């Protein structure tokens, strides 16, 4: 290509590629901010970079450069040269907030997640799970062997679920049911939201022992311990009987179709007459829709690739959900968006 051809390329097109190619650097910049506690140290009123550096035990000049990069990303604002405050978006990286995304950022920038991504092309070529090749074990076994990472994962899932936990109790008629089991319910954030809004319900969280590490705390903090039991188990072996509603949020997308069918079949086996399986996941359209009101910036498709490289699962279309349900002895009866903004949908399935 000649220089003239480069000059005639649309600058916006080149900027897009540049921004995307620097995407992992932006993610690592967020990671550094969280690890150094930058948002807590900068705060809401203008603060000098040198003071932030001193409090963080960091070098002043590199700290200034980090703060300026965070400003470029929209997470800080520079008022006068070298003096910064946190923007509303940046404040979400503060670990102390109820709506914090600090653990979410830490987890999704962890080497444990990022290293498999370096082999995305291999996963695309072979269909194999890059994580298993890189680490010599599968993702959830790796978590079980690394309690700190597992705690990070549970925290990240909790933060990622908080918005759904606030919306779901009002987006679905829970009054038709008496007892709900959250299958793979993690630290209980979602079920706690449901139980708190519906005093007539009792609940169960089924998860691995590692997945349940923080669940007693979640329930105790919300005053729900008496209405919720915790079962450490394996949904590939069985799902406990006794509920009329089985909830699965962000669980099926971790697994292949065959594995998803096994989990759903175990739900089906214990589903009483009139019972319901409620899956909460994004539902991919048949064709990628990039119109402004439905796009989430492509995050659902990146999540799909994340499933490919790290766990071997996938995001699904309505028809793909219908198929795994059918193979498990369930009929998909409806798909409703959780909210207008969220990519999540409520996917209902009944026996038969
Ligand atoms: C992606 S997380 C979703 C957690 C939660 N439902 C949410 O949306 O925040 C998947 C959950 O499945 C749990 N899990 C993985 N393998 C499991 C198994 N074999 N049996 C039960 N739970 C399992 C994990 O511990 C984790 O809590």
The string of pLDDT tens digits covering residues 329-352 is 999 999 999 987 778 999 999 999
pTM: 0.94
Concerning whether 79 is annotated as a catalytic residue, the answer is: no
What span, in angstroms and rounded, lies between the C-alpha atoms of 256 and 261?
A: 9
Distance (Å, rounded) from C-alpha 57 to C-alpha 51?
10
8 Å CB contact between 277 and 181: no
The rounded distance, in Å, linking the Cα atoms of 126 and 352 is 36
| Segments of the chain scoring below 70 in pLDDT | 1-8, 292-295
Contacts of 135 (CB under 8 A, 6+ apart): 112, 115, 116, 142
Centre of ligand 1 from the C-alpha of residue 74, in Å: 33
Q: Which residues contact 22 (CB under 8 A, 6 or more apart)?
A: none
Ligand 1, atom 10, residue with closest C-alpha: 251
| Ligand 1 pocket: which of 194, 211, 254, 315 to mutate (most atoms within 8 A of CB) | 211
| Confidence (pLDDT) at 207 | 98
Query: How many angstroms does the Cα of residue 184 sit away from the middle of ligand 1?
Result: 4
Nearest atom, ligand 1, residue 210 CA: 25
Active-site entry in 119, 142, 253, 266: 253
């Amino acid at each position: 290509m000649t220089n003239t051809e480069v000059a005639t390329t649309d600058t916006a097109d080149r900027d897009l590629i540049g921004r995307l190619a620097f995407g992992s650097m932006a993610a690592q910049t967020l990671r550094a901010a969280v690890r150094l506690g930058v948002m807590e140290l900068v705060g809401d009123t203008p603060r000098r970079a040198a003071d932030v550096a001193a409090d963080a035990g960091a070098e002043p000049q590199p700290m200034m450069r980090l703060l300026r990069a965070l400003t470029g990303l929209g997470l800080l604002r520079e008022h006068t040269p070298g003096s910064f405050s946190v923007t509303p978006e940046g404040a979400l990286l503060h670990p102390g907030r109820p709506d914090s995304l600090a653990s979410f950022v830490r987890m999704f920038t962890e080497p444990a997640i990022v290293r498999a991504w370096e082999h995305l092309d291999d996963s695309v070529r072979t269909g194999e799970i890059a994580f298993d090749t890189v680490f010599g074990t599968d993702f959830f076994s790796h978590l079980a062997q690394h309690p700190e990472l597992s705690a990070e994962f549970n925290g990240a899932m909790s933060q990622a679920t908080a918005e759904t936990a606030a919306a779901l109790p009002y987006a679905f008629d829970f009054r038709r049911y008496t007892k709900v089991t959250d299958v793979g319910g993690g630290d209980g954030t979602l079920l706690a939201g449901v139980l708190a809004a519906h005093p007539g319900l009792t609940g169960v969280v089924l998860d691995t022992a590692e997945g349940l590490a923080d669940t007693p705390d979640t329930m105790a903090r919300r005053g729900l311990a008496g209405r919720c039991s915790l079962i450490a188990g394996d949904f590939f072996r069985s799902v406990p009987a006794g509920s009329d509603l089985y909830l699965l949020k962000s669980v099926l997308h971790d697994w292949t179709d065959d594995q998803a069918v096994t989990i759903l079949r175990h739900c089906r086996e214990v589903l009483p007459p009139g019972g319901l399986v409620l899956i909460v996941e994004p539902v991919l359209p048949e064709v990628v829709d990039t119109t402004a009101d439905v796009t989430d910036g492509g995050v659902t498709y990146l999540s799909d690739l994340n499933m490919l490289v790290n766990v071997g699962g996938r995001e699904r279309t309505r028809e793909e959900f219908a198929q795994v349900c059918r193979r498990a002895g369930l009929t998909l009866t409806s798909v409703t968006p959780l909210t207008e903004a969220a990519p999540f949908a409520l996917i209902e399935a009944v026996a038969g």
